[in-house]
Structure 1
Amino acid sequence: MNLGPLPTAWPPADADHVLVSGAAMAAIEQELFASGLPVEALMEKAALALSRRLAERPGRDRQDGLLVLVGPGHNGGDGLVVAREWHLAGGRVRIWCPFERRRPLTEAHLRHARWLGIPLLEAPPDPEDPALWVDALFGIGQHRPAGPLIEALLEERQRRRPGALVAIDVPTGLDADDGVLLGGVAATAATTYTIGLIKRGLVQDAALRWVGRLERIDLGLPAALLVQPGGEPLLGLGPADPSSAPWPVPDPAAGKYARGRLLVVAGSRRFRGAAHLALAGATASGCGSLRAALPQEITPHLWQIHPHVVLEPGLGATPAGGLALADLGEGWLDRLDAVLLGPGLGGIDPAGGPPAAAIDAQERQRWQDLADFEGLLVLDADGLNRLAALGSDWLRTRRGPTWITPHAEEFRRLFPDLAPLPRP
């Protein structure tokens, strides 16, 4: 099959996709300042872009106004610039700053905001306040809990007015690097406007309920700052729009066998629906030829649901009721471009778990076949759990491209040495 040249990497290592730690972002800023860019200029650039983004929000923000929660550092300074711009544009805005000491630049912006006549609240705001709250308390510089007063206020705000808070850079109370809570609660943001580059903690599972919609505020950073000295991205690649993926483009005159030949190995006695769902997804991919190796219990009637699928002989069950990969015949990978293996395969050992001793010699041979297969292999769900029983070193023996789709627990079983480390 010839589907034309494909990009070497996706997503691209640009500002929309590179993930950074808080320290890495701070180092980038310091390099900009060392080059001659004033701190004030970078703050203005970030906060003006954020002000424009807030002005574009739908809803009642213009009528109900903003309440900016101002912290002691430069995150608070960003919030004060937003308050200034909102006020100068004729919007209603107020400020609350629960800190007596502030960094000099933030103090200067607060002094100017007071000169403009922007109200400064003396007491903590009412959690039922109708204004949109802008969390500019800490950002990436927070490493300790926000304290009982602020945590209680943020928790009550979400309870009484859910969806009425946005965060600048990082929600207060959330670690920017690993996405975990620094205290008992974090600000629950409808949108987090992260500044410059995406902080890696914002895309972790533990952070999603606090981050809300994630939007990046572009600073126009030079490309040279997005890579390490060896040319690699700073810390990894972040979320990407699937529509931008490097989809293959077949020759318009190509027949079905030149448009992708895929085998799906899925399902078991207990998880029969997984086979149907996997086949539905494979069908939607647009592949030209779709084959399936499935539990023998569901193969007789599959034609009524998926009449386009070519069936391999039905597979038996392991002692635990899982799909017996040992029943796959010789040459099962012939004339294929891709294999999906794993959804709903079920276990091997009836006592629970897939210890290596429960994988017989015949199934081990099938895994060796997969190691030698030069096409694309997608390993999902119980396919990953069985691989964990063999050992992740198997991946080093793979001759073709391999995609794995582990959730947190599957990743822990597959890579026990890496699981405790912070994710990029």
Structure 2
Amino acid sequence: MPPSWPPADADHVLVSGITMAAIEQELFTSGLPVEALMEKAGLAVSRRLQRRPDRDGHDGLLVLVGPGHNGGDGLVVAREWHLAGGRVRIWCPFERRRPLTDAHLRHARWLGIPLLEAPPDPADPALWVDALFGLGQHRPAGDAIETLLRDRQGRRPGALVAIDVPTGLDADDGELLGTVAATASTTYSIGLIKRGLVQDAALRWVGRLERVCLGLPSALLGQPPADLLLGLSAVDRASAPWPVPDPAAGKYERGRLLVLAGSRRFRGAAHLALAGATASGCGSLRAAPPRDIAPQLWQVHPHVVLEPGLGTTPAGGLALGDLGEGWLNRLDAVLLGPGLGGLGNADEPVAAAIEARERRRWQELGAFEGLLVLDADGLNRLAAAMGSDWLQGRRGPTWITPHEGEFRRLFPDLAPLPRPEAALA
């Protein structure tokens, strides 16, 4: 595994609004004119819009222009479409604008680009370009704009794109600033991906997320590793550092994996986990399933070596304490957790002997030098048996996949933080 994957480059770094503003300010301090950066952003978005497969399905563009530099980006888009012979109109509901944005608006008027005097019809047939606020949003857009954005999605769903950040979204945590946000079919994140755009709360508003490259110097991305958040996308699977085994290698030299998944209550989890493990291409696949479902697993996954089946905990979960001595011998990786179930019921104490056997298995896992993937109830069982400090003492690499509830149980002191900050901590 390389020192960092994915690489800490512009395609993967996730930034806060403060960090992005600091990067831009450093560029301006170095001598790059603000006008130059605005031109780069607006021209890049204009080219993206020209390549949209649905561009002919809309009656031109309607650019919603805000008072700041996001509005200026939108006006560059409007200018380029007009000069290319496209139909474009502008709506700017703000009397005061930053000087550079105001200059672009004057030029657009001089070119003859129509400026709407009244709010647009939500059923307008044009593709709307949301350039109202972008990154600098800190408060709700106001009742009139929120109503317009809500009606637009109701009347013409999918007929709006956003420059940098949809109006009404916090760029750092992805939460709504008011009651609604612009519902974008595509959001063109300028320069770098903003942290809030990849949060669950933002996904319905962001749509397809595309990064618009500004050619930022790599030196500006050199944040200290402790402050660095990286994001993955589906296309990153192709660049993942897959192992390349020797062509003459036998199956035991192509990855040896043990799957601990499923329980009496969640029987299908073992089947699904083994199907995913099989697709990974590992050479030797073992499983220690619940005794109740071992016969069915053998019939569906005949290539899997089944260890002696495990018993059931008082809560109906998989009894990890039943694993035999040396259960981690000759393994490269362990997947632990899908459908594992709990150890004990909330209203009944667990017998000391059961708890002791469970803790012993976790201690053995702590000394395991191979890869450990902890998912679902594996995280919940770790939180109950050992706590998050156990992770710091693990000798091998560990990947965890918590959703919000699992994260809260494992890291109760971090749970109140916004998700990006909690993950970073």
Could you report, residue by residue, the CA deviation over 1:382-402 in whole angstroms, capped at 9, with x for unpaired residues? 000011112100101100000
Could you report, residue by residue, the CA deviation over 1:166-188 in whole angstroms, capped at 9, with x for unpaired residues? 00000000000111000000001
Contact preservation (8 Å) 2:61, 2:89: yes
Contact preservation (8 Å) 1:61, 1:132: no
Alignment of 1:226 with 2:227, yes or no, is no
Deviation of 1:409 after TM superposition, in Å, equals: 1.4
Partner of 1:112: 107
The aligned length equals 417
Partner of 2:423: none
Alignment of 1:191 with 2:178, yes or no, is no
Deviation of 1:301 after TM superposition, in Å, equals: 2.8
Partner of 2:96: 101
Contact preservation (8 Å) 1:343, 1:382: yes
Contact preservation (8 Å) 2:122, 2:148: yes
Identity %: 84
Report the residue type matching 1:239 in the other structure.
L
- Which of 61, 78, 81 is 1:83 aligned to? 78
Three-state SS of the structure 2 residue aligned to 1:133 is strand
In 1, the alpha carbon distance for the partners of 2:412 and 2:237 equals 29
Report the residue type matching 1:206 in the other structure.
A
- Which of 57, 63, 66 is 2:61 aligned to? 66
Could you report, residue by residue, the CA deviation over 1:223-262 in whole angstroms, capped at 9, with x for unpaired residues? 111023xx43753112242221111111111000000000
- Which of 278, 282, 287 is 2:282 aligned to? 287
Where does structure 1 lack aligned partners over 5 or more consecutive residues?
1-5
Partner of 1:417: 413
In structure 2, relative to structure 1, the CA distance for the partners of 1:354 and 1:306 (3 Å cut) is farther
In angstroms, what is the RMSD of aligned CA positions?
Answer: 1.6
In structure 2, relative to structure 1, the CA distance for the partners of 1:223 and 1:366 (3 Å cut) is same
Alignment of 1:56 with 2:54, yes or no, is no
TM-score when normalising by structure 1: 0.96
Report the residue type matching 2:398 in the other structure.
T
Contact preservation (8 Å) 2:58, 2:127: no
In structure 2, relative to structure 1, the CA distance for the partners of 1:87 and 1:354 (3 Å cut) is farther
Contact preservation (8 Å) 1:81, 1:109: yes
Deviation of 1:404 after TM superposition, in Å, equals: 0.4
Report the residue type matching 2:229 in the other structure.
G
Partner of 2:393: 397
Deviation of 1:355 after TM superposition, in Å, equals: 8.9
**Bigger relative contact order, structure 1 or 2 (CA pairs below 8 A, ≥6 apart):** 1
Partner of 1:385: 380
- Which of 354, 361, 369 is 1:366 aligned to? 361
Contact preservation (8 Å) 2:58, 2:125: no
Could you report, residue by residue, the CA deviation over 1:69-110 in whole angstroms, capped at 9, with x for unpaired residues? 000000000000000000100110000010000000000000
- Which of 133, 136, 141 is 1:141 aligned to? 136
Report the residue type matching 2:399 in the other structure.
W
- Which of 248, 262, 274 is 1:253 aligned to? 248
Partner of 1:180: 175
In structure 2, relative to structure 1, the CA distance for the partners of 1:38 and 1:352 (3 Å cut) is farther
Report the residue type matching 1:402 in the other structure.
T
In structure 2, relative to structure 1, the CA distance for the partners of 1:121 and 1:311 (3 Å cut) is same
Deviation of 1:358 after TM superposition, in Å, equals: 9.6
Report the residue type matching 2:207 in the other structure.
G
Where does structure 2 lack aligned partners over 5 or more consecutive residues?
421-425
Three-state SS of the structure 2 residue aligned to 1:308 is coil
TM-score when normalising by structure 2: 0.95
Deviation of 1:351 after TM superposition, in Å, equals: 2.5
